[in-house]
A and B are shown apart, each in its own frame.
Chain A
């Protein structure tokens, strides 16, 4: 990238520095090659990025291939049970050593010259080592490159920055909200199968911001599902609920209950037996009480992990409610291009029949063919397209909703909570964190 940029702020960032306090964001940040280059270094080079769930690699040797921006890692549990993220590049001549997206392996052998690594990354085999190198090759110094990996409540994150604070510090108070999902059952969550992966011409921030606090789009973007009676027509549903952001961290969550008078089962509509187990499973009584009143929950962990956990149903005529849970990573692969990884998760100890129904609730509303998510992809694509044009990039987009609102003093959870979801406060907090990293 242009080195001079590092010494002076990019003009779009300068502009955003002025406009963000006023609730305006220059559209240029959503499709600009220089901004993207900066993001790769400043944001994704210094963040904890979600890469896998522990249930995907339960046994020694289990691995999955995962990405942080364009870097490809073998996320593997070694023979001692430690989770590692090994850069999939042979230290000899740079060939990839892993040829499957998931599996179990004790070793990874490079197909070029045969250098072989144990699943902890250490180099243990160099063909004809003595004849080829004499005693000049110190294998202990040239294992597969590894990045820092830390796990929290079953969620595995990696970071390209050796200096970034520990994961728990990075997450901060969003942990309380993540636990509403990860600690619902004593057995914890499991990923079913493999993630859907697909590529969309969208800027990653548009996806992250949507899940961090854009309840306002529901009635129009998802109007088709409103017409079918799957999403409620009453605007109160989109407005209702609590919007919480974690200051200085960029994370945020929407915790949405049932509006007054609405008949919805408690605890997202999860089976009765799961509600019983949740009482002792949650770390605190406050979390249990909030969970019992929750019907829809969304989280974005800065920068690019989003979680959606709504009450839903397998189809429009289904009598009853079947909640679903998805984790997704919006991995940026260009200024206006992401690869989406979308996982379905469910409690390990949920009834088997429920697991099946819940997977249908997920597949038919979210993911690549989801009747909700299809339309998000279409709309974010057209926004990204416009943001890359010579006139569109100069627009200031409006993020001013809810500046007249006051925080909720009675909310039992941490962070700053507003008692309404018609507000962009979480989005402004997300972008303020983004801007801080971009300028540092």
Chain B
């Protein structure tokens, strides 16, 4: 546990730094925080019966809102850079609120040191001059990996708290 406690500030710093880059639309710099073999998934969530003994209900295993690798994440970033990605032209005003950070014990893997990190996300989105806004709530289940001394995102699974999404599109990262 001592080992784990030592990395908690490093990991929370990482998550806050990442949120800042996403809020500021600095997508290239965000891509630098992502490993080459990253998996990034947002499974569909549906209304289902309670799981006996508790648990997260209704996470669909084989269909997603997003199912990305590094190439497809890059495609999304490049797309916005063209200036013709109308979903983000003008850009949305985004704010990532990250709380409830839970850092798992560091483990040695063939790719390096990794830690399972969970955090809660509230994502605010506002567009144009509309007074209405979109708020999405989710838990992020990440795998962070230490690459050359720096933490990077190796996997992210976003468990949304909506079944029917209250957003006209997902043109941003969680």
Contact = CB atoms under 8 A, between A and B. Distances in A.
Interface of A: 99-103, 192-202, 221, 223-228, 230, 314-318, 339, 344, 359-360, 363-364, 367-369, 371, 373-375, 377-379, 381
B62 A192 contact: yes
B116 interface: no
Contacts of B82: 223-224, 227-228
A200 B169 CA distance: 8
A194 B65 contact: no
- Residue among B48, B69, B78, B85 having the largest count of chain A Cβ atoms under 10 Å: B85
Contact of B75 (A197, A223, A315): A315
Nearest to A197: B164
Contact of B65 (A228, A315, A369): A369
Interface string B57-79: 01011111111110110111011
Interface residues of B, number: 40
- Residue among A103, A314, A316, A369 having the largest count of chain B Cβ atoms under 10 Å: A369
B86 A101 contact: no
Contact of B67 (A100, A103, A360, A379): A360
B103 interface: no
Given A196-B44, A223-B84, A224-B79, A368 B67 contact: no
A376 to B, nearest CB: 9
A360 B64 CA distance: 10
B86 to A, nearest CB: 4
Nearest to A230: B75
A103 B58 CA distance: 11
A286 to B, nearest CB: 34
B49 interface: yes
Contacts of B69: 315
B163 A197 contact: yes
Given A198-B169, A360-B72, A377-B168, 16 more contacts: A99-B47, A193-B44, A196-B65, A197-B165, A223-B82, A315-B71, A316-B74, A364-B72, A369-B65, A369-B171, A371-B76, A377-B87, A378-B86, A378-B87, A378-B168, A381-B168
Nearest to B44: A194
A101 B47 contact: yes
A226 B82 CA distance: 10
Contacts of A368: 65, 165, 167, 169-170
B49 A369 contact: no
B85 A224 contact: yes
A315 B76 CA distance: 9
- Residue among B67, B87, B166 having the largest count of chain A Cβ atoms under 10 Å: B87
B138 to A, nearest CB: 14
B135 interface: no
B168 A375 contact: no
Given A198-B164, A224-B79, A373 B169 contact: yes
Contacts of A102: 46, 48
B40 to A, nearest CB: 11
25 contacts: A100-B49, A103-B48, A192-B63, A193-B44, A193-B62, A193-B63, A196-B63, A198-B166, A199-B164, A199-B168, A202-B168, A223-B82, A224-B79, A224-B82, A224-B83, A225-B79, A363-B64, A363-B66, A364-B68, A368-B167, A368-B170, A369-B42, A369-B65, A377-B169, A378-B169
A116 B165 CA distance: 32
A195 B164 CA distance: 10
A103 B49 contact: yes
Contacts of B170: 368-369, 374
A314 B72 contact: yes
Contacts of B66: 363, 369
Contacts of B61: 193
A374 B65 contact: no
Contacts of B48: 100-103
Contact of A359 (B58, B67, B84, B86): B67
A21 B169 CA distance: 35
A137 to B, nearest CB: 30
Interface string B156-174: 0000000111111111000
A388 to B, nearest CB: 13
- Residue among A314, A318, A363 having the largest count of chain B Cβ atoms under 10 Å: A363
Contact of A199 (B46, B62, B74, B165): B165
Contacts of B76: 371
Contacts of A367: 65
A373 B85 CA distance: 11
A224 B75 CA distance: 10
Minimum-distance CB pairs A-B, first 3 = A193-B63, A374-B87, A223-B84
Nearest to A370: B169
Contacts of B71: 314-318
A198 B166 CA distance: 6
B46 A201 contact: no
A221 B82 CA distance: 13
Contacts of A200: 168-169
A375 B79 CA distance: 11
Contact of A364 (B60, B75, B85, B169): B75
A117 B58 CA distance: 24
Interface string B31-55: 0000000000010101111000000
A369 to B, nearest CB: 4
A100 B46 CA distance: 8
Contacts of A225: 79
A367 B48 CA distance: 22
Contacts of B87: 374-375, 377-378
